[in-house]
Structure 1
Amino acid sequence: MTRYRTTDGKEDMKQKVHWFGAAAIPLAFMNGLFFGGYALRKIRQYWEGGPMD
């Protein structure tokens, strides 16, 4: 949630949802799961010696 100032300098009391800021943490979490899972799979393939999926 962010608040903006109006043109006369007073704080606007209507709270507006900052969508990118609100989505940043879940997006980073999903990226971590995706790339973490991908990295683990590649490491396992290397360790076991082949593409066995």
Structure 2
Amino acid sequence: MTRYRTTDGKEDLKQRVDPWSTMAIPLAFINGLYVGSYALRMIRQRWEGGPMD
């Protein structure tokens, strides 16, 4: 949750959800799956000796 300030400098009492901070953990998880699977594929291709896909 992110708190915002009003135009007169007081803290706004309503909590608004920042969509970018909400998506940070799922995006990091998806990115980790993508990079991890790519790395495993490259390691397997090198291990087996050639382009298999």
Q: TM-score per shorter chain, which class?
A: 0.7 to 0.9
| TM-score (normalised: structure 1) | 0.88
Report whether the alignment pairs 1:13 with 2:13: yes
Letter matched to residue 5 of structure 1:
R
Matched residue pairs, number? 53
Structure 2 match to 1:34: 34
| TM-score (normalised: structure 2) | 0.88
- Kindly report structure 1 stretches of 4+ aligned residues shifted beyond 3 Å: none
Letter matched to residue 37 of structure 2:
G
Deviation at 1:9, TM superposition (A): 1.6
Deviation at 1:25, TM superposition (A): 1.3
Structure 2, unaligned runs of 5 or more: none
d(CA) in 2 for partners of 1:52 and 1:45?
6
What SS does the aligned partner of 1:37 have?
Answer: helix
d(CA) in 2 for partners of 1:46 and 1:10?
60
Structure 1, unaligned runs of 5 or more: none
